[in-house]
């Protein structure tokens, strides 16, 4: 009998083996994790129940002091590239931080997670985005008046359908970005947007032609202070309440051309890359919730006099071992997904000499023309897409998305099971502990819903791993970027592509000014 299971290499089966060789900095991860842990112990854990209660009574209530405390620790900028002044973290770093924060309070952690989701599309925009809102975020972080971001994809009649390019073709989209001189006018409603009522900047996806949403889905950067924008309502949530989920209304909101993120019409594949990057941290949110429940119940069993006898019972030992096992597996899944993404699927883009070289151009120089003008040009956007095609493939990104989806779906289920099992162990014995566990159980439920429901995530596992399909995850190359044979100009060396070449020529000028050599090192 022939096997239909695709043969997989060791590095495909154990992405972290490759990542270790490819620069996974374990000491740096330890440093990040211990910073996140001390922030969580000092600020999140002591306030988790109180904030859950207050936001349960009034969903609009929001604690800006916690955001300020997080901003002081760089929680709002750790995904922003280092040349733009941020921490330069990737999916792996974000996941490790989220697990720590969520073991204390997933609701508060989600404020930082939803902010990171809002930032993510800008990262795909490449260096053209470094000196705009990203630098404003960094300045606000150090000013003590931090700005938050949100990402708005879901619509009242389209949730699952806007998280997959094929489903998007048939989705009931009611929003519309209409072209006008100098930009677009956005109209419609977005629902369930985390941080939606508190964010200053929102990355939003809308079609420029509602009859062809998949082909014209486009990412825009919206200032919440714009005329025509309003918060229609803030939802009463069951869990993760500290982070408000809002319905947002857009009534002819004007967005200038320079706030189109990436290219018009590239929003569907861009969303898939954003989801591939954000699902490992979401899986880590779920893992952190499960770990928080397990640690609380174990601590109680070990320290509470009345409970200590329970540890002698075999069924309790088995329940604890089962929790430890599930949490360990959930963590391995998110680590595999994150390292596959950061070090294999998208690793080539980030370590590419042209991206590294631009990182050495001082911001003051980058902000001046002609560099600034070029970074915002159509050709520069085309070059970014060409770079993606030259350094990765549809298949690699689809596979990575499938691993991220697997981690996300399994993580959500583990969080529900472990918080449920912890509640059953405690029963009616300790009211204060029960209150904490009940909250974590409510918090866990959301992990099966947002970032694509678990059903959708498992369909992506089927497509990417069982069926070895490709999902359109890369923005298409423009006709001008294809040679006569239909291949990419680059032939594997992105510097051979005339568009990318132009990019590098500019770099080299700029580098010469800055006294930096073209290989990204100081001369
Ligand atoms: C608290 C909260 C915060 C959120 N934050 C954000 C945010 O910040 N930004 C944002 O854009 N969105 C956000 N969302 C939206 C979230 O991603 C969607 O709720 C989710 O994608 C599901 O969409 P839906 O609620 O419309 O459910 P539906 O799409 O209506 O799904 C209902 C059920 O049908 C199943 N289903 C639907 N289609 C299929 C299919 N083709 N095959 C199999 N099963 C299917 C689903 O799995 C689900 O079980 C948030 C949601 C919540 C609840």
The verdict on 313 and 403 lying in the same domain is yes
- Tell me how far the alpha carbon of residue 267 lies from the centroid of ligand 1, in angstroms: 18
Which SS3 state, helix, strand or coil, does residue 123 take? helix
- Tell me how far the alpha carbon of residue 452 lies from the centroid of ligand 1, in angstroms: 6
CATH code at position 115: 1.10.540.10
- Tell me how far the alpha carbon of residue 142 lies from the centroid of ligand 1, in angstroms: 35
Q: Do residues 112 and 75 touch, judged by C-beta distance below 8 A?
A: yes
Ligand 1 test: best mutation among 154, 196, 234, 412, most atoms within 8 Å of CB?
Answer: 154
User: With a 6 A CB cut-off, is 204 part of the ligand 1 pocket?
Assistant: no
Tell me which DSSP letter residue 42 carries.
I
DSSP codes, 78-96: TTS-GGGTS----HHHHHH
- Cβ within 8 Å of residue 515, ≥6 positions away: 522, 523
User: With a 6 A CB cut-off, is 452 part of the ligand 1 pocket?
Assistant: yes
Strand (E) or helix (H) holding 452: none
Contacts of 486-491 with C-beta under 8 Å, sequence gap 24+, read 488/386, 488/389, 488/390, 489/386, 490/386, 490/389, 490/390
pLDDT score of 83: 85
Q: Does some domain include residue 503?
A: no
Q: Do residues 258 and 131 touch, judged by C-beta distance below 8 A?
A: no
The verdict on 284 and 324 lying in the same domain is yes
The verdict on 329 and 457 lying in the same domain is yes
Angle at 69 between CA 288 and CA 433, to 5 degrees: 40
Q: Does some domain include residue 523?
A: no
Query: How many separate domains does the chain show?
Result: 3
- Tell me how far the alpha carbon of residue 158 lies from the centroid of ligand 1, in angstroms: 8
pLDDT score of 504: 45
Cis peptide before 61 (omega within 30 of 0): no
Ranges of residues in the chain whose predicted pLDDT is under 70: 1-6, 21-23, 479-523
The verdict on 80 and 206 lying in the same domain is no
pLDDT score of 7: 74
- Tell me how far the alpha carbon of residue 203 lies from the centroid of ligand 1, in angstroms: 18
pLDDT score of 41: 97
CATH code at position 454: 1.20.140.10
Tell me which DSSP letter residue 487 carries.
-
Q: How far apart are CA 101 and CA 243, in angstroms?
A: 14
pLDDT score of 483: 46
pLDDT score of 84: 87
Task: List the domain range (segments joined by +) for residue 77.
Answer: 10-148
User: With a 6 A CB cut-off, is 345 part of the ligand 1 pocket?
Assistant: no
- Tell me how far the alpha carbon of residue 474 lies from the centroid of ligand 1, in angstroms: 23
pLDDT score of 5: 56
- Residue of minimum CA distance from atom 4 in ligand 1: 192
The verdict on 155 and 215 lying in the same domain is yes
Q: Does some domain include residue 482?
A: no
User: With a 6 A CB cut-off, is 450 part of the ligand 1 pocket?
Assistant: yes
Residue 147: both structure tokens together: 């700005």
The verdict on 303 and 406 lying in the same domain is yes
Is the pTM for the entire model greater than 0.85? yes
List phi, psi (to 5°) of 194: -65, 135
- Tell me how far the alpha carbon of residue 163 lies from the centroid of ligand 1, in angstroms: 9
Q: Does some domain include residue 56?
A: yes
User: With a 6 A CB cut-off, is 124 part of the ligand 1 pocket?
Assistant: no
Q: Which is nearest to 380 in space by CA: 398, 366, 395?
A: 366
Ramachandran sector of residue 459 (left: φ over 0; alpha: ψ -120 to 50; beta: rest): alpha
Residue 3: CB atoms within 10 A of its CB come to 6
The verdict on 327 and 348 lying in the same domain is yes
The verdict on 449 and 340 lying in the same domain is yes
For 484-517, write each residue's pLDDT tens digit.
Answer: 444 444 333 434 445 444 544 444 444 444 333 3
The verdict on 317 and 417 lying in the same domain is yes
């Amino acid at each position: 009998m022939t096997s239909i299971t695709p043969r997989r290499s060791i590095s495909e089966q154990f992405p972290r083996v490759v990542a270790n060789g490819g620069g996974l900095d374990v000491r740096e991860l330890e440093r990040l994790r211990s910073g996140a842990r001390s922030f969580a112990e000092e600020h999140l854990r002591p306030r988790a129940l109180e904030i859950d209660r207050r936001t349960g009574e009034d969903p609009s209530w929001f604690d800006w002091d916690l955001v300020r405390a997080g901003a002081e620790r760089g929680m709002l900028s750790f995904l922003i590239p280092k040349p733009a002044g941020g921490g330069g973290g990737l999916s792996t770093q974000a996941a490790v931080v989220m697990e720590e924060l969520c073991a204390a309070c997933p609701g508060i952690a989600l404020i930082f997670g939803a902010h990171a989701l809002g930032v993510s599309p800008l990262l795909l925009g490449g260096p053209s985005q470094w000196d705009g809102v990203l630098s404003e975020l960094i300045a606000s972080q150090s000013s003590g008046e931090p700005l938050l971001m949100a990402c708005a994809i879901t619509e009242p009649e389209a949730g699952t359908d806007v998280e997959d390019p094929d489903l998007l073709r048939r989705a009931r989209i009611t929003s519309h970005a209409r072209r006008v001189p100098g930009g677009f006018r956005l109209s419609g409603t977005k629902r369930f947007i985390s941080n939606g009522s508190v964010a200053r900047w929102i990355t939003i996806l809308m079609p420029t032609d509602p009859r062809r949403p998949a082909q014209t889905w486009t990412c825009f950067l919206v200032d919440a202070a714009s005329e025509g924008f309003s918060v229609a309502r803030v939802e009463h949530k069951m869990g993760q309440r500290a982070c408000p989920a809002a319905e947002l209304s857009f009534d002819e909101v004007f967005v200038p051309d320079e706030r189109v993120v990436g290219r018009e019409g590239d929003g569907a594949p861009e969303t898939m890359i954003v989801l591939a990057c954000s699902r490992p941290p979401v899986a880590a949110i779920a893992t952190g919730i499960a770990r928080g429940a397990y640690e609380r119940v174990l601590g109680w069993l070990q320290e509470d006099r009345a409970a200590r006898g329970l540890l002698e019972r075999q069924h309790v030992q088995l329940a604890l071992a089962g929790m430890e096992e599930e949490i360990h597996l959930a963590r391995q899944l998110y680590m595999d997904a994150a390292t596959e993404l950061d070090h294999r699927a998208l690793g080539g883009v980030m370590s590419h000499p042209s991206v590294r070289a631009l990182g050495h151009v001082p911001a003051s120089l980058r902000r001046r023309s002609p560099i600034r003008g070029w970074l915002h040009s159509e050709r520069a956007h085309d070059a970014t897409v060409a770079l993606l095609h030259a350094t990765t493939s549809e298949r690699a990104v689809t596979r990575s998305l499938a691993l991220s989806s697997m981690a996300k779906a399994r993580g959500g289920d583990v969080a529900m099971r472990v918080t449920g099992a912890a509640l059953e162990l405690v029963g009616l014995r300790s009211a204060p502990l029960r209150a904490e566990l009940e909250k974590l159980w409510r918090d866990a439920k959301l992990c099966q819903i947002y970032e694509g429901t678990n059903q959708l995530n498992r369909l992506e596992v089927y497509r990417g791993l069982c069926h070895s399909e490709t999902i359109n995850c890369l923005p298409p190359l423009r006709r001008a970027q294809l040679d006569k044979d239909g291949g990419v100009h680059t032939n594997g060396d992105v510097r051979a592509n005339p568009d990318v070449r132009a990019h590098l020529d500019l770099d080299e000028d700029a580098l010469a000014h800055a006294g930096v050599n073209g290989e990204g090192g100081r001369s």
